[in-house]
A and B are shown apart, each in its own frame.
Chain A
Amino acid sequence: MFTLGVDIGSTTSKSVILKDGQEIISTSLIAAGTGTDGPDRAIAAVLAAGNLNLNEITSVYGTGYGRKLLKNASGEMSELSCHAKGVHHLMPEVRTIIDIGGQDAKVLSLGTDGRLAEFLMNDKCAAGTGRFLDVMAGILQLKIEDLEKQAAIAKSTVKISNTCTVFAESEVISQLANGVKIPDLVAGICQSVASRVASLAKRIGVQQTVCMSGGVARNGGVRKAMEQELGIEIIYSPMAQFMGALGAALYAYDKS
């Protein structure tokens, strides 16, 4: 039996096809999120990659901010439960998940059986989310994927405010005007995101093993800064960005 999970985020759409609730057949990621044709394209891409037709899929579950807009879905679950489910499937030892997406950051606490036990999310502000990194990369005229490389060659970490994206933006601009090196600024930007989200993690109580998921988890600069903030090792899966979609595909299987 094939099931499909579709995670419709604020900036991207991700899909995963699962066979018999175990084997990942294919994945797709389209850089267009809710309110766009991203979800349709993601579904088309994941079907093509898996060499399947939609009528071969037994059940489709949606998750993410756009979950309610998914056409012909069999059901939907919040990204909170889906991330917990997806991570537990691949890394059953994980008890704390730090997920930073395009417009929100969340920390999930898992029970021993992988169930979502508790969660905390960021407040209404975009500081500490992927959007913050997008804005900062834009000012520095860097691609988002270059942030990791830049942070890795930093000689020092510049202190950047994490209270507000707009304030941080003007801070970065004035640091640039003062001749501060870009890698040092990037390290400061990663630190800024990490310290903001780490405070959520500290509030919920960090239980080992900790992993990062979501798009921002791909950024080694933020991962490293988060490890420094929390003083523990953080594990990461190359599937980090697909955990929500994987969880949705697992729910689709469970509920079929």
Chain B
Amino acid sequence: MGEGGTKPKFTIDPDSAKFKLNEIVVKHYKEVQEAKDRGEKIGWCASNFPQEIFQTLGIKVCYPENQAAAIAARGAGQRLCEISEAEGYSNDICAYARISLAHMKVGETPEQNMPLPDFVLCCNNICNCMIKWYENISKELGIPMILIDIPFNPDYEVSDAQVAYVRSQFLAAVEQLEEITGKKWSDEKFREVMDISNRTSRAWLEATSYTKYTPSPLNGFDLLNHMAVAVCARGTIDAAEAFETLLEEYKKAVKEGTSTFRAEEKYRIMFEGIACWPHLRATATGLKSRGINMVATIYADAFGFIYDDFDGLIRAYCNVPNAMNLEHARDKREAIVKNTNAEGLLVHTNRSCKLWSGFMYEMSRQIGEDCQIPVTSFDGDQADPRNFSEAQYETRVQGLMEIMETNKGGKD
């Protein structure tokens, strides 16, 4: 107890990665608001749109997906979803979209505010619902929308033809952005940003790979929080440094045998799908209380991009998990499962994400069979709290754990 019987206030070490990463997110929203206040044109942007382009142009954008996740995690998902539903949007539509459309209507959301956009940037490599979501924003606010069409790739590799198709759109988008904002593209600046972005991604991807250690030096749920920085700031020095700090922390933890997973790590699993943000505590506790650590997820790696030039950047953005074919997506996941020695697969059947949940039935079957690990799924939602049942989640996680326990004694 501190003086006068009051508890000393818990403070985060300002040299820690956690502190630095939190600061980057705070600064990100602050800078967008300041730009807006100065009269600059600011945008709303899809999470898998190259952040490097804005960084090069010096344009401030913010990310409705990050905002919706933060709002949902802070308990306001239902309130915002209901605003959109009262506008006539079906509750079958993605909850990120409903939250974003609601924020557009009300203009202020204290749980995670951000200024209204002057243009929107949509990239459909992660989601197709987003096209209509952004079109509606564009129409309602009377602002331009730039769409980069990155179609689902039925082939295993990205072809030169696909790169050419997407490259021409990016070049057009850069011109449109120059016109909208009055800012100018510089190849030299782009190379600089590209170097920083690669540096950030290398540190981020190496940090996420530390779950390969047993026990893992981190609780896999940490990655879901840190990921926001990989989305919104990967072309910044701050992000590169923060992720390098994170990496150093994990290296040290491995050496010292410590972990941010605050329980004995008895089982290691892959978690598939977007986090169930409104019930993050329940989903994380359901695992931790049983000694289950999430050591594998494709989601964190989805926001690390390594490339050498503009075409390399295009190729990387054509190769994100939701745009690649089933075999390629499965192989990437199986490599993670094997590399991390995951013993089970827990799939979030996410009512908001029909695309992801749709392909997971077959993919999880193949992963389970190929890697010889048990698979279970639970119903939930990335942002609408009404689509989750804690009792059902608990039973499924316990069932998964009991099979993993049996498997430790030898498989049939």
Interface of A with B (CB < 8 Å)?
65, 77-81, 104, 111-113, 115-121, 123-124, 203
Given contacts A81-B402, A124-B387, contact A117 B395 (CB under 8 A): no
Q: Give chain B's interface residue range (CB within 8 Å of chain A).
A: 20 to 34
- Asked whether B361 lies within 8 Å of A117 as measured between CB atoms, the reply is no
- Asked whether A119 lies within 8 Å of B376 as measured between CB atoms, the reply is yes
- Asked whether B402 lies within 8 Å of A124 as measured between CB atoms, the reply is no
Q: Return the contact of A117 from the options B349, B374, B379, B396 (Cβ within 8 A).
A: B374
- Asked whether B379 lies within 8 Å of A115 as measured between CB atoms, the reply is no
- A-B CB contact pairs (8 Å), 8 listed: A77-B398, A78-B395, A80-B395, A116-B403, A120-B376, A121-B376, A121-B396, A123-B349
- Asked whether A116 lies within 8 Å of B406 as measured between CB atoms, the reply is yes
Nearest CB of chain B from residue A115's CB, rounded to whole Å: 5
Which of A80, A112, A124 has the largest count of B CB atoms less than 10 A from its CB?
A124
- Asked whether B374 lies within 8 Å of A77 as measured between CB atoms, the reply is no
Q: Return the contact of A113 from the options B374, B398, B412 (Cβ within 8 A).
A: B412
Nearest CB of chain B from residue A172's CB, rounded to whole Å: 25
CB contacts (< 8 Å) of A111 on chain B: these are 412
Q: Return the contact of B392 from the options A77, A104, A118 (Cβ within 8 A).
A: A104
**B91 at the binding interface (Cβ < 8 Å):** no
CB contacts (< 8 Å) of B389 on chain A: these are 124
CB contacts (< 8 Å) of B403 on chain A: these are 115-118
Q: Return the contact of B379 from the options A65, A78, A112, A124 (Cβ within 8 A).
A: A124
**B257 at the binding interface (Cβ < 8 Å):** no
**B375 at the binding interface (Cβ < 8 Å):** yes
* Docked CA distance A115–B374 (Å): 13
CB contacts (< 8 Å) of A116 on chain B: these are 399, 402-403, 406
CB contacts (< 8 Å) of B387 on chain A: these are 124
CB contacts (< 8 Å) of A124 on chain B: these are 379, 387-389, 392
Nearest CB of chain B from residue A186's CB, rounded to whole Å: 28
- Asked whether A203 lies within 8 Å of B361 as measured between CB atoms, the reply is yes
- Asked whether B402 lies within 8 Å of A118 as measured between CB atoms, the reply is no
- Asked whether B412 lies within 8 Å of A80 as measured between CB atoms, the reply is no
Interface of B with A (CB < 8 Å)?
349, 361, 368, 374-376, 379, 387-389, 391-392, 395-396, 398-399, 402-403, 406, 412
* Docked CA distance A111–B374 (Å): 13
Nearest CB of chain A from residue B118's CB, rounded to whole Å: 40
* Docked CA distance A80–B392 (Å): 12
- Asked whether A118 lies within 8 Å of B375 as measured between CB atoms, the reply is yes
* Docked CA distance A104–B399 (Å): 14
Given contacts A104-B392, A121-B392, A123-B349, contact A81 B399 (CB under 8 A): yes
Nearest CB of chain A from residue B129's CB, rounded to whole Å: 20
Closest partner residue, chain B, to A119 (CB atom): B399
Given contacts A65-B391, A121-B395, contact A80 B349 (CB under 8 A): no
Nearest CB of chain B from residue A96's CB, rounded to whole Å: 15
Nearest CB of chain A from residue B358's CB, rounded to whole Å: 14
- Asked whether A78 lies within 8 Å of B375 as measured between CB atoms, the reply is no
Closest partner residue, chain B, to A110 (CB atom): B412
* Docked CA distance A73–B224 (Å): 36
- Asked whether B402 lies within 8 Å of A80 as measured between CB atoms, the reply is yes
Given pairs A115-B403, A124-B387, 6 additional interface contacts (CB within 8 A): A77-B398, A80-B402, A81-B402, A112-B412, A117-B412, A120-B376
Closest partner residue, chain A, to B401 (CB atom): A78
Nearest CB of chain A from residue B312's CB, rounded to whole Å: 40
Nearest CB of chain B from residue A241's CB, rounded to whole Å: 18
* Docked CA distance A203–B402 (Å): 21
- Asked whether B412 lies within 8 Å of A123 as measured between CB atoms, the reply is no
Nearest CB of chain A from residue B408's CB, rounded to whole Å: 12
CB contacts (< 8 Å) of A80 on chain B: these are 395, 398-399, 402
- Asked whether B412 lies within 8 Å of A115 as measured between CB atoms, the reply is yes
Closest partner residue, chain B, to A10 (CB atom): B391
- Asked whether A115 lies within 8 Å of B406 as measured between CB atoms, the reply is yes
Closest partner residue, chain B, to A65 (CB atom): B391
CB contacts (< 8 Å) of A115 on chain B: these are 403, 406, 412
* Docked CA distance A159–B38 (Å): 64
CB contacts (< 8 Å) of B376 on chain A: these are 119-121
- Asked whether B379 lies within 8 Å of A118 as measured between CB atoms, the reply is no
CB contacts (< 8 Å) of B395 on chain A: these are 65, 78-80, 104, 121
Nearest CB of chain A from residue B230's CB, rounded to whole Å: 31
Nearest CB of chain A from residue B96's CB, rounded to whole Å: 20
Nearest CB of chain B from residue A143's CB, rounded to whole Å: 28
Complex A-B, nearest 7 residue pairs according to Cβ-Cβ distance, in ascending order: A80-B399, A111-B412, A78-B398, A124-B379, A81-B402, A78-B399, A123-B379
Nearest CB of chain B from residue A170's CB, rounded to whole Å: 19
CB contacts (< 8 Å) of A120 on chain B: these are 376
Closest partner residue, chain A, to B374 (CB atom): A118
* Docked CA distance A65–B402 (Å): 16
* Docked CA distance A230–B271 (Å): 32
